[in-house]
Amino acid sequence: MGVVLFIYGLLRNNRSVLISGLIVFVVVAILIPVVYYSGHAAREIVEELPGINEAFIDKHASAAEFTYYSGILMGFLSAVVLYLQMVRRYRDMFYRIMLILALLSSFFFVISSAITGNYGGRIRHGEIVSPSELQELELRQDEGKVIPIDGAGEPAQPKIICLFQSSLCAP
């Protein structure tokens, strides 16, 4: 929502809408640590569930870390732009550069948030895991057949193995 407000404010040269978008960015940056660190507690719970592959949890955690830092950067740049707005320095070149950087950082944040959410969904929803991603699972040789293994060393749930027609699926 903040990106839409921000872009609309830029395109229409509407300072109040632009400021609203920047405020949304700052509020999001303030809330990001709460979301990020609650993920650590959730990881401890999810790792104990049956059929969970730790490789997907690790991918989600790595993406979440990038999202965390990109959100903090977006909030910082937005706060600088808001400060420059308050002191009426919005005609300076520095202001324009910071405005562009805030816009770019918001794009990075939105894209990384979407990727992080997608990886998070793959932790529990095997139906959205592609055959190529199945190759990233820990593999075990069992009588000449390749069987995906979950984080506990047990064969992964059959719905993950058999959803796709590939060499990794059980016959």
What is the token pair recorded at 13? 């040269």
Between 35 and 165, residue with greater pLDDT: 35
Is pLDDT at 114 greater than 50 in this prediction? Answer: yes
pLDDT tens-digit map of 18-61: 999 999 999 999 999 999 998 878 888 888 887 777 778 888 99
The answer for residues whose C-beta is within 8 angstroms of residue 138's C-beta and 6 or more apart is 53, 55, 148, 149, 151
List the domain boundaries for the chain.
2-124, 131-162
pTM to 2 decimal places: 0.72
